[in-house]
Structure 1
Amino acid sequence: MTDFPVHTSGSGPPIVILHGGGVTISVYRWIAAALADRFTIHLYNRRGRADAPPRTEPYDMREDIADLATVLRQTGAVNVIGHSGGGFIALEAARELPIERLALYDPAVHVDGLFPTGWVAGARAALRAGDTGRALALTSAGINTHSPASRLPLAAQTAICRLFLRTSIGRMMGELLPMTFDESDSIFEHGGPTSKWSGVTAKVLLACGAGGPDYYPKINEALAAVIPDSRTLLVPRSAHDALNRAHPRIVEPLTEFFAEPA
């Protein structure tokens, strides 16, 4: 079995961080640095990004789970942090892989129909038409339902996103939009009632930001009701990017969670 490219820092019990959709591990350098004084942090790019192998087409979530299994084998880790779409992969993987502790931040899990799905078709159509700004605007408005910008006229949102696409992170997100759509379709396809995740045996921290969309707390509460060893955490004054920003409000609970005695 071929090893996966993994970027490692720190020392202590190993933790694998599974990044979200639309980005690479480059935006997780601060959280890795913040945790590296207590833990060995392993970051890896999911397929089709940066130094990762190419992705098999059509996209299959099972490939992401197999890659995580490879990284866990390489590193000896039994601890995982999953963010957004990476949280979905990590939670699905926890149903079958030897994950002992799992921290999820804003996990994009389609529990009981709670995750928004109506934006993908229009965003895909805009991208096929060559309008990446409009596609990104529809994506942002569809996911960031709490944001005042999502209530602006679509033309204004599109203009903002065209400016955003001139930044380095905007270019990255624009280039990765096709994969974002494929992964979103997989999230919707593999959704279900809460009972689907009742067999997860890992100790699970279900975190989300109080400043983010209102569906994440609902998703976490629904999952916590069926995952035996789980608890929720609402992080104050934090949005979807809180994990990337590595504020103490999220770093400290993560440190406590992974440092707890077995």
Structure 2
Amino acid sequence: MIEARDGATIPVHTRGSGPAIVILHGGGVDISVYRWIAAAFEDRFTIHLYNRRGRADAPARTRPYDMREDIDDLAAVLDRTGAVNVIGHSGGGFIALEAARELPIERLALYDAAVHVDNQFPTAWLEGARAALEAGDTARAIALVGRGINTHQPASRLPLGVQTAICRAFLRTPIGKMMGELLHLTFEESNSIFEHAGPASKWSGITAKVLLACGAGGPGYYPKINEALASVLPDARTLLVPKSAHDALNRAHPRIVEPLVEFFS
């Protein structure tokens, strides 16, 4: 247990031995979907995972939603564990990148980081998806998210009614149930990410060594975002992971595990 700056208690789940790495999970899920990547690292690294606020065993979020809370919690975890290495995924990647502007992070690996750089990240889906959720149609809301951000998938071009039916079935799966329950939080986080948009130069002061990774099987905007960031960060490189989509980090395939092990070694 770690005490956050506001006095809340953050449960941290630790496994393995060796140099410490904190994994910052993405939006719409909790740390349970990162068990395979933690297992893949535990013979070489000490892995610290914690649920960001509003999820599973984490404290409730304060209102109104403020990304500052996420950065302060990461600061507390780094301070207490002594970790200087961070992996950030999706929305967690954005938080980690923002935090690296001020926290003592030495090595930062991002996978499909949801950073709104130079207007590259799609935003038009949020308003309609939020309206659908407020109207009580969670399946339609998820369908609108999917067609808005998974622009590379053929399914994104199916009629919305068909996509909604698919999402209704998805909501009956364990991962779908989790994502549906956290959807309101995902929208708040997305809105905050979009509000923090800017040119790549906004992050040029980060001194950490940075690995900007994304999947070759994902949307085309992630490589563009990574290239833009790599062009201004003092010590960064990009990595396009073959045959990988947005969930590659969760699946812990060797093609993503091995480059991460090399980076943090």
TM-score bracket for this pair, using the shorter chain length: over 0.9
Match of 2:257 among 242, 251, 259: 251
Stretches of 4+ moved more than 2 A in 1? none
The residue aligned with 2:35 is 29
User: Is 1:189 matched up with 2:187?
Assistant: no
* Root-mean-square deviation (Å): 0.6
Q: Which runs of 5+ in 2 are unaligned?
A: none
Alignment of 1:1-262 (within 5 A): 1=3, 2=7, 3-259=9-265
Alignment deviations for residues 164-192 of structure 1 (CA, whole Å, 9 cap, x no partner):
00001000000000000000001100010
Aligned partners of 2:44 and 2:185: how far apart in 1? 33
Q: Following TM superposition, by how much is the alpha carbon of 1:226 offset from its aligned partner in structure 2, in angstroms? A: 0.3
In 2, distance between residues paired with 1:143 and 1:9? 33
Match of 2:87, SS state, is strand
Query: How many residues get paired?
Result: 259
Percent of pairs with identical residues: 82
| Residues in 1 aligned to 2:240 and 2:161: alpha-carbon distance in whole angstroms | 34
Deviation for aligned residue 1:22: 0.2
- Counterpart code for 1:95: R
- Please report the TM-score for the alignment, with normalisation by the length of structure 2: 0.97
8 Å Cα contact 1:4-1:70 kept in structure 2 = no
TM-score, length-scaled by structure 1 = 0.98
Separation in structure 1 between the aligned mates of residue 148 and residue 63 of structure 2, nearest angstrom: 25
Specify every segment of 5 or more residues in structure 1 that has no aligned partner in the other structure, as ranges. none
Q: Secondary structure at the match of 1:64?
A: helix
Q: Which amino acid letter does the alignment assign opposite residue 156 of structure 1? A: V
3-state SS of the aligned residue for 1:181? helix
Deviation, structure 1 residue 18: 0.1
